[in-house]
Structure 1
Amino acid sequence: MKRRFQLLNQCLDNHRLTIGVVSLFLGMTTVALADYKPPDPPSRPKEPTIISGTRGGCSKNGKAKLTTLAPQEHIGQTVSTHPTFAWFVPDAESLPMKFQLYQVYQDDVNENHQLIQNIELQTTPGIMTHSLSQDELGLSVGQRYFWQVVIICEPNHPSSAIVAQGYIDVVQESPDLKIALAAATNPVDRANIYADRGFWYDGFGEVVGSGDDARHRELKLNLLTDLAKIEASGNSHYASQKSERIKQILEIERKARL
């Protein structure tokens, strides 16, 4: 009789384990990944941002190019006064780099830019990020900014530098967005909320530097895929170039996970 109860308990334990594993699997596979939807109506820069050169990087033979991971066809938005910026570096060699942030004076006919941040970095291959420190004065709501990353290939030859650029608009966080974010329990949920509402910098920022598990990687690649499609559908030659660059980066990122 004792032996019979032991076998029965073992069967029940195995059954519970099977249910738990199946439930976990279903929970992981039914996570909905939101598409990135540009703000409506989207704002576009008066002039195209620079896509520098045809070479991949300082090594001149990379399969990808220095690329800002942000919209080109329209201006990406954020509700954060301390957003995260991301870009892709093709070079394996560590090189000096600058992150530069400018305030755009839209009332000026020429939209002059004033440098407000100039940070020296060292490159690492792949996706790099820079977040504005919470200890510093943040960006202003309702303001447009211009940012760029510059790789210094040869310090004695400034003309050899490689540049990639982008714009960002800081907008007011709406009450319904606050409510939705308050109910989110993890970065993936928050990224989905931001992406669905057109906040590129916030959505991508949530997953690009917050973990390396399967869901983070899947959403990161999903957002980049959306961005490549959006750029490809634009009328600008620069946006078309940006789309091709992002596709190259996606290929590299996917192969790196195999």
Structure 2
Amino acid sequence: MSGTPLLDYDRYLDILEHEGGLLAASAEAADHDRPIPGCPGLDIGETVRHVGSVYRTVVSWIRAGDRPTSWQRQPLGDQTVEDYLRDGLRALLGELVTHHPDEPCPTWDPAQHHYGFWGRRMAHESTVHRIDVQTAAGGEIDLVEPEVALDGIDEVLRLWFTHRLSVLGVSGTRRGTVALKAGDRFWVATLGPVTTKATRATAAEAETADASVSGDAVELYLWLWGRRAVFDRSLTLEGDLDISSQMWALLRLATR
């Protein structure tokens, strides 16, 4: 599956800035102890702290040239978790905006050692966790634009299903294929004891899969991230349901 993103670098930085700021603002108006439905064990306050910590991890990783072992993991003194996140966001944007997306830098994907990787990854990290916080808070959930969701589908299939599962050495028990369909985009995921990968596909290629999951791009994006149940009614699941549910379960291991 090609690692070429579906959006340009400046768009990712705009998404990152918008979603990070919205995440902090949404948390400020909410009870920090409210649990995150899609992430058992996490609450709103811990989710905001986690994202602020991830921002700092990336900045340290880029500057040090290797995966960091230490960074500011918690707010200091009377700093709120929201301000902790905002400070980390400013530092991350300041680092990313001064570099070309093709410029080399360290990442955790051997095929994507460039700044573009972090722009895309952090845009989706911020978007998914912003939705987590707003969902937990029980208020209005801001929309995700369809083209952003389509890019997010592509990223989770490329980076997490294909790459991360390979690194973990995790595979399925039954061989099969699942077509993913949203908008005018198609992907086919192959899973089983030997191969776990996803590729962009044509409509004709998608029709040959053993199972299919289709629907609104945002709903499919959230399904792949485990923010929707395996048999969620907002999506249409057809064909071999055991294969599509196995794919969903494998992604829970990849993205946890």
Give the shorter-chain TM-score range: under 0.3
Could you say which structure has the greater relative contact order, defined with CA pairs below 8 angstroms and 6 or more residues apart?
A: 1
Structure exhibiting the larger radius of gyration computed from Cα positions: 1
- TM-score normalized by structure 2? 0.22
- TM-score normalized by structure 1? 0.22
Structure with greater proportional strand content: 1
Structure with greater proportional helix content: 2
